[in-house]
Amino acid sequence: MNLTGPRRSTPTDDEATAPVELPHILVTVAEDGTLTAMVDGAPFPSPDGTAWTRATFGPLMDAITKDRTIAVRVEVRESDGSVFTDILRTRKPRRAVAPSENSVPETRRSRHARRVPRLSEVTAHGFVPGEDVAVATIVSHTDATGTGEARALIDLDDLPAGTSHEVILFGRISGTLAVRRLI
């Protein structure tokens, strides 16, 4: 009797996207805020010859990970001696859903049954470009733009009725915290 089940011949999505050994990124922060980046012990200079800075941390990570198509282990050593370590995972590509060839004809009832979401936009500044920004009451996550701005759309129908609502945007790298009231 075989209790382990059949062996898989094809890897799962996680096995196919995550290498066994992750590239190691070491970022050292100088007193003046400039960054020195090393990838597996080799220097990673800025493509335009200028110094990497805290403000260019997002573009630095994008350049090394090729816009998050490569998973990496990141170690940031601050000038005060503190160390931050994290794994930047790859982004799963969004797949477009092809329309069904034998779609069901639209009926009068199905047209009225569609729910149109009531959305509210929340924006704040001060984030590191490209950083992951948590949206709380955690209903979603968003990324900061190249200018350090984060934007989130919240479906008001997903929130409990009868209470005033506030949203928190939290930058996971910068520590930036912004509280905004939903309109």
Domain ranges of the chain: 13-88, 118-181
Tell me the mean pLDDT in the region 130-147: 78
Has residue 143 got a pLDDT over 90? Answer: no
Is 125:149 a contact under the CB 8 Å cutoff?
yes
Has residue 28 got a pLDDT over 90? Answer: yes
pLDDT number for residue 2: 47
Has residue 33 got a pLDDT over 90? Answer: no
Say which range, 14-28, 40-54, 65-79, has the weakest mean pLDDT: 14-28
Is 62:37 a contact under the CB 8 Å cutoff?
no
Has residue 98 got a pLDDT over 70? Answer: no
Q: Quick one: which of 30, 27, 21 has its CA closest to 74? A: 27
pTM beyond 0.85, yes or no: no
